[in-house]
């Protein structure tokens, strides 16, 4: 159980690191938001599920309840975060943020 929890948390931290790299290095708003959205949904859910498993390491009914609450947070994040990313992207599209293109290519 502890090993699985550790694996999930380390995987989540890896995806967070990749997402931060993307936010820093990508050229424009939409691609940066793409990287940030991956962080928010995939990496955060991995870390939260890892914490839920870690909490179950010494098994008892009260710990099971706490783990269930943590998993409920994971489900909520999994619905809310992509929706938030979608809303921000659409707002950017409406006010006309131009996507990045290579300068020498025709649009």
User: Which residues contact another protein (rule: CB under 8 A)?
Assistant: 76, 79-80, 83, 86-87, 90, 93-94, 96, 98-99, 107
CB 83, min distance to another protein, A: 4
Between helix 2-25 and helix 44-55 the angle, nearest 10°, is 160
C-beta closer to another protein: residue 10 or 91: 91
And the tokens for 63? Answer: 């710990």
C-beta closer to another protein: residue 64 or 87: 87
Q: What span, in angstroms and rounded, lies between the C-alpha atoms of 85 and 91?
A: 10
């Amino acid at each position: 159980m502890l090993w699985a929890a550790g694996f999930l948390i380390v995987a989540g931290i890896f995806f967070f690191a990749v997402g931060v790299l993307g936010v820093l290095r990508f050229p424009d708003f939409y691609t940066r938001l793409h990287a940030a959205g991956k962080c928010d949904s995939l990496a955060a859910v991995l870390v939260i599920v890892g914490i839920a498993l870690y909490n179950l390491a010494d098994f008892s009914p009260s710990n099971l309840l706490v783990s269930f609450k943590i998993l409920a947070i994971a489900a909520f994040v999994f619905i809310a975060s992509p929706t938030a990313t979608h809303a921000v992207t659409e707002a950017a599209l409406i006010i006309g943020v131009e996507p990045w293109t290579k300068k020498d290519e025709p649009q």
